[in-house]
Amino acid sequence: MTENEIANKIIGLAIEVHKALGPGLLESAYKECLMYKIIQSGMFAEKEKPMPLVFEEVKLDCGYRMDILVEHKLVIEIKSVEALNDVHLAQTLTYMKLGNFKLGLLINFNVALLKNGIKRVVNKE
């Protein structure tokens, strides 16, 4: 599957989770439920995937962790905030650059309509 095909499936699963739970819960609840739906759908996913930082040829374990990585290709960063801001976008893009991933989804579950809380993030490097 391509990154776009994976992203489309993930968006559908995220909408299912949001319809069932609604807004207002903690990020961890949405992460666990989305992870469950991804695995149930037959896709491979890793939760809290460590992302080392390479600085001047040295690999540093700084505690960076991606929320979910799907099929070794798609970065998913989950939020439950009043509004997404530039820092959330930068965080997602940083994970993508560190792992050399092309596409990410920044999903804010704390919205009335989930499509308004989804941002596709493209690594143009």
Asked if 78 and 107 count as a contact pair (C-beta separation under 8 A), the reply is: yes
| Per-residue model confidence as pLDDT tens for the chain (125 residues) | 999 999 999 999 999 999 999 999 999 999 999 999 999 999 999 999 887 777 777 777 776 789 999 999 999 999 999 999 999 999 999 889 888 999 999 999 999 999 999 999 999 87
Domains in the chain: how many in total? 1
pLDDT value for 63: 66
CATH number at residue 49: 3.40.1350
pLDDT value for 120: 97
* 104 strand-pairing partners: 75, 121
Distance separating alpha carbons of residues 91 and 78, to the nearest angstrom? 11
Segments forming the whole domain that contains residue 78: 3-122
Using the 8-state DSSP alphabet, how is residue 3 labeled? Answer: H
